[in-house]
Amino acid sequence: MNLYITFDDKNKIKKCFLNLRKYLIISVDEIIENLGFDKDNIDDCVSFIINQHILKMIKDGNGGRNLLGIVYSNDCVDDEIIRGIIHYVEDLKNIEKVVFLTDKNQHEEYYELFEEIMFYPTLKKVHIVECKTYPVEWIGQENVDDNLYI
């Protein structure tokens, strides 16, 4: 199972991919709304509650036998959030890797944090597993593992 991280909202994800009922989609905006908080008025305490809820959802989804993957959707994701999620899922046995889901030529500053980058399909709806990976050319590394792709 993979964990996909994206800046895009749930509607865009649904427009691009088929068979999402086998994926857990964690939309931070929906979580904030469902917990009764205002997105524009979040302090440290509220942020902690939201983060713990998200981590619990990831952990519970990790144990789901019928799930093919987890999609984390947050339009305010940043370097610190990405690193925190990657560090958290390192201890979860069913999550093989964390994949960045984005449009081509967008958010390139985050590419280096991920093992794989997956781009949204441009022509038609597809299954997430049908997307292609692209090889990474790591600058400054002499021994590059041929199995790394974005």
pLDDT digits (tens, 9 = 90+) for 22-54: 899 999 999 999 999 988 888 899 999 999 999
Average pLDDT value over all residues in the chain: 84
**Are 99 and 3 contacting, i.e. CB atoms less than 8 angstroms apart?**
yes
The conformational region for residue 27 under phi > 0 = left, psi -120 to 50 = alpha, else beta, is: beta
Q: What is the mean pLDDT of residues 62-89?
A: 90
What's the pLDDT score for residue 32?
Answer: 93
Which tokens belong to 12?
């865009």
- For the whole model, what pTM was predicted? 0.81
Share of the chain above pLDDT 90, in %: 43
Which tokens belong to 73?
């959707």
pLDDT of residue 140 exceeding 60, the answer is no
What's the pLDDT score for residue 19?
Answer: 80
User: Could you say which architecture CATH assigns to the domain 2-123?
Assistant: 3-Layer(aba) Sandwich (3.40)
Q: How far apart are CA 146 and CA 76, in angstroms?
A: 33
**Are 118 and 4 contacting, i.e. CB atoms less than 8 angstroms apart?**
yes
Which residues, including other chains, have CB under 8 Å from residue 26's CB and lie 6 or more apart? 54, 57, 58, 61, 70, 71, 72, 73
